[in-house]
């Protein structure tokens, strides 16, 4: 009886709040570490309509923390497999996968986001988060941004006009995690070699009992070393007899005798030879070239990968900023190896009579530590044909490596679902209204292991929007322009669209992505070669927002400086094949087009009742847009008592031939 009353009470409470999970639709962007935990928690909390976007496919290194995936799923899209796993957990759920790039895929436009009541970010990169932030601001959808770095995490709320958006505060330098199979087998960037070198440091001098210390030995279980569909990997015991020898196990005995040359040859010759036996890895990649110690000592070049002598000597550099030759890195490796071995022996002796740890901990500010990682990383980079990195840059890059922790992801996901329940409780039951009734009970939630800040899980009051934020300070919709990024040039954008069409004189054009990058400066002379480049060559993508801003003197008062700002949102489409064509798809413009169409229909009916072809022609949406050729006038309204930016509106003119 008590349980029945309790259940009735719960039902009564649920019915008194806003939207219920079962009535709501949620879009989850990202199906990785946090995303897997999040989808599971959403399903168990009775969310019944979920969309999932993810671009990536499953790798072996994902399996230790992304529990919706299994070995047989390697190589398959994360979004698809995650949704299949959730359906097995909850057969009644309506969950739909979208395998694509949330930034560049044209299907993820504003109308797509409007299908959902709430959007949740579970992303691991800044650019994608900024894009989703912009899209949610444009369609006034609540956004929960979740994330984790090591043992810290957060679930923050972004509510248009009422809280800070993702771009309201400056972001720290991005910190990333990397797939272990890439680090061990197929590095392609300097950072991959630096991560490998840090793993190697821990293998040689660190805590070998720590399960997070990855083995640096090549791994035949790499998914690309097999066929497909989870079959067994290709046999890597080559005809020349190369076998895999685990560095973790080998080093225990080797460090007792300690022969630096043997260690060098094991890492840069034996292991690389073993890697070359994995033929599938090198079908579309440059195969690494193993080098022995005596051979490496003779290599005096540092130009293997296009780093010319001219680039090296163009400007004076400090020693730490100079790319050294391979034989110098060999010497640096041996010297730092000897120094660290002596230090490690002393540390172990001290640990035998004290509570000191019996191992070394890598410190980017320690010169021997840094020299070892710099030398190891560059020797490996040379072998794989990757650009070498200065000691100065290694210090900067190596200090930003933070591991992904499964427990943190689970905590963040649980908090994010609670945040989602709170947001939905403030939404009206009407499916067409997404205005939050009250945000008094809402907070941001942070997870921190820094006890100085208080509890590990903390609720922080919501911050008001930053008035200087480019993304959310102006709450008006930007002008949406549809064009083909691969055909439309910067010259056409600036001269035809911005200056001729929008009637701006000579504005600065700034990419509103938080970087402050200026695309066109009004103060500089135009570079003809640059102006002829297409927009995609400037890495402008679907959803990019441009801020066009100019200053001019008021004609009636030369001392009064006026500001004019227009936001442009660029939308890519492959359907436009003319390099000079573009379409304005602003909501107000669409309304104008509909009015024009109705008036033209009436005109055609009055002139010729039998001319059905003309009416059918106007019913085609693409042809509706084609009747709008140019802007007749860009009117401005300015409050005499308001010194803020002017507001713009469009008056459309029908093509003379279409209305004749």
- 168 assigned ligand-binding residue: yes
In angstroms, rounded to a whole number, what is the distance separating the alpha carbons of residues 18 and 41?
A: 20
In angstroms, rounded to a whole number, what is the distance separating the alpha carbons of residues 461 and 470?
A: 23
3-class state of residue 649 by DSSP = strand
Task: For residue 159, give the nearest of 189, 173, 139 by alpha carbon.
Answer: 139
**CA–CA distance from 611 to each of 552, 604, 619, 657 (Å)?**
50, 7, 13, 17
- 30 assigned ligand-binding residue: yes
3-class state of residue 150 by DSSP = coil
Task: State which H helix or E strand residue 394 sits in.
Answer: helix 391-398
- 127 assigned ligand-binding residue: yes
- φ/ψ of residue 241, rounded to 5: 85, 15
**CA–CA distance from 366 to each of 330, 338, 377, 400 (Å)?**
19, 15, 16, 16
In angstroms, rounded to a whole number, what is the distance separating the alpha carbons of residues 483 and 487?
A: 8
- 34 assigned ligand-binding residue: yes
- 469 assigned ligand-binding residue: yes
- 543 assigned ligand-binding residue: no
Task: State which H helix or E strand residue 482 sits in.
Answer: strand 479-483
The residue whose two tokens read 């190896």 is 337
- 165 assigned ligand-binding residue: yes
Strand partners, 566: 548
- 126 assigned ligand-binding residue: yes
- 124 assigned ligand-binding residue: yes
- Tally of helices (H runs) and strands (E runs) in the chain: 22, 16
- 64 assigned ligand-binding residue: yes
Three-state SS across 490-542? HHHHHHHHHHHHCCCCCCEEEECCCCCCEEECCCCCCCHHHHCCEHHHHCCCC
Burial of residue 174 (number of CB atoms within 10 Å: 0-12, 13-18, 19+): exposed
- 262 assigned ligand-binding residue: no
In angstroms, rounded to a whole number, what is the distance separating the alpha carbons of residues 380 and 384?
A: 6
Task: For residue 48, give the nearest of 12, 76, 81, 22 by alpha carbon.
Answer: 22
The active-site residue out of 181, 193, 344, 548 is: 181
- 208 assigned ligand-binding residue: no
236: how many CB neighbours lie within 10 A of its CB?
A: 21
3-class state of residue 312 by DSSP = helix
- 54 assigned ligand-binding residue: yes
- 472 assigned ligand-binding residue: yes
- 83 assigned ligand-binding residue: no
Q: For the sheet containing 152-158, what is the strand order?
A: 94-99, 49-54, 25-29, 118-121, 143-149, 152-158, 443-447, 457-461
Active-site residue, 548 included:
no
- 414 assigned ligand-binding residue: no
Three-state SS across 594-607? HHHHHHHHHHHHHH
- Which amino acids are annotated as binding site, given as ranges? 30-35, 54, 62-65, 78, 124-129, 165, 168, 469, 472
Give the residue numbers marked as catalytic: 181
- Which amino acids are annotated as binding site for Zn(2+), given as ranges? 165, 168, 469, 472
- Which amino acids are annotated as binding site for ATP, given as ranges? 30-35, 54, 62-65, 78, 124-129
């Amino acid at each position: 009886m008590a349980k029945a009353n309790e259940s009735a009470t719960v039902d009564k409470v649920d019915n008194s709040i806003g939207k219920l999970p079962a009535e709501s639709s949620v879009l989850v962007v990202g199906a990785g570490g946090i995303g897997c935990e999040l989808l599971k928690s959403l399903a168990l909390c009775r969310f019944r309509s979920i969309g999932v976007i993810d671009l990536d496919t499953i790798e072996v290194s994902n399996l230790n923390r992304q529990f919706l995936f299994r070995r047989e799923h390697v190589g398959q899209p994360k979004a698809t497999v995650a949704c299949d796993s959730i359906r097995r957990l909850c057969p009644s759920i309506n969950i739909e996968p979208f395998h694509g790039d949330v930034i560049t895929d044209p299907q993820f436009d504003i109308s797509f986001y409007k299908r959902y009541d709430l959007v949740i970010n579970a992303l691991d990169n800044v650019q994608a988060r900024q894009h989703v932030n912009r899209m949610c601001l444009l369609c006034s959808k609540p956004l929960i941004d979740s994330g984790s770095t090591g043992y810290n995490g957060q679930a923050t709320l972004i509510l248009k006009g009422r809280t800070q958006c993702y771009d309201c505060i400056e972001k720290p330098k991005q910190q990333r995690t990397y797939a272990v199979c890439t680090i061990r087998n197929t590095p392609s960037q300097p950072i991959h070699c630096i991560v490998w070198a840090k793993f190697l440091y821990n293998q040689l001098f660190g805590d070998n009992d720590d399960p997070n210390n990855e083995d640096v030995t090549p791994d035949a279980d790499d998914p690309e070393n097999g066929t497909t569909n989870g079959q067994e990997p290709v046999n890597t015991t080559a005809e020349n007899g190369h076998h895999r020898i685990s560095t973790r196990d080998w080093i225990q005995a080797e460090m007792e005798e300690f022969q630096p040359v043997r260690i060098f040859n094991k890492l840069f010759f034996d292991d690389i030879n073993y890697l070359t036996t994995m033929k599938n890895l090198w079908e579309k990649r440059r195969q690494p070239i193993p080098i022995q110690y005596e051979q490496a000592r003779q290599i005096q070049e540092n130009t293997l990968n296009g780093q010319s002598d001219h680039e090296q000597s163009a400007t004076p550099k400090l020693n730490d900023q100079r790319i050294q030759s391979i034989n110098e890195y060999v010497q640096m490796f041996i010297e730092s190896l000897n120094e660290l071995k002596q230090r490690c022996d002393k540390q172990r002796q001290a640990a035998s009579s004290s509570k000191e740890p019996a191992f070394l901990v890598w410190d980017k500010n320690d010169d021997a530590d840094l020299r070892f990682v710099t030398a190891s990383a560059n020797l490996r980079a040379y072998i794989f044909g990757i650009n070498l990195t200065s000691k100065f840059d290694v210090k900067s890059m190596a200090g930003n490596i933070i591991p992904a922790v499964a427990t943190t992801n689970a905590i963040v996901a649980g908090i994010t679902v609670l945040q989602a329940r709170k947001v939905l409780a403030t939404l009206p039951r009407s499916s067409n209204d997404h205005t939050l009734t009250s945000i008094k009970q809402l907070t941001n939630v942070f997870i921190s292991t820094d006890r100085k800040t208080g509890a590990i899980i903390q609720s922080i009051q919501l911050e008001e929007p930053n008035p200087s934020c480019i993304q959310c300070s102006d709450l008006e919709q930007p002008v949406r322009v549809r064009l083909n990024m691969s055909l439309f040039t910067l010259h056409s954008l600036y001269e035809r669209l911005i200056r001729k069409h929008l009637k701006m004189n000579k504005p600065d054009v700034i990419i509103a992505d938080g970087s402050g990058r200026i695309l066109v400066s009004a103060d500089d002379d135009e570079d003809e070669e640059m102006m002829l480049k297409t927009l995609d060559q400037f890495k402008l993508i679907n959803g990019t927002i441009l801020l066009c801003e100019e200053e001019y003197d008021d004609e009636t008062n030369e001392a009064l400086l006026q500001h004019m700002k227009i936001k442009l949102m660029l939308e890519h489409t492959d359907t436009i094949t003319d390099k000079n064509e573009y379409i304005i798809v602003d909501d107000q413009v669409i309304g104008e087009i509909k009015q024009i169409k109705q008036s033209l229909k009436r005109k055609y009916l009055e002139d010729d009742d039998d001319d059905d072809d003309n009416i059918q022609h106007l019913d085609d949406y693409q042809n509706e847009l084609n009747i709008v050729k140019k802007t007749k006038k860009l009117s401005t309204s300015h409050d005499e008592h308001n010194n803020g930016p002017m507001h713009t509106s469009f008056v459309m003119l029908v093509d003379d031939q279409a209305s004749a």
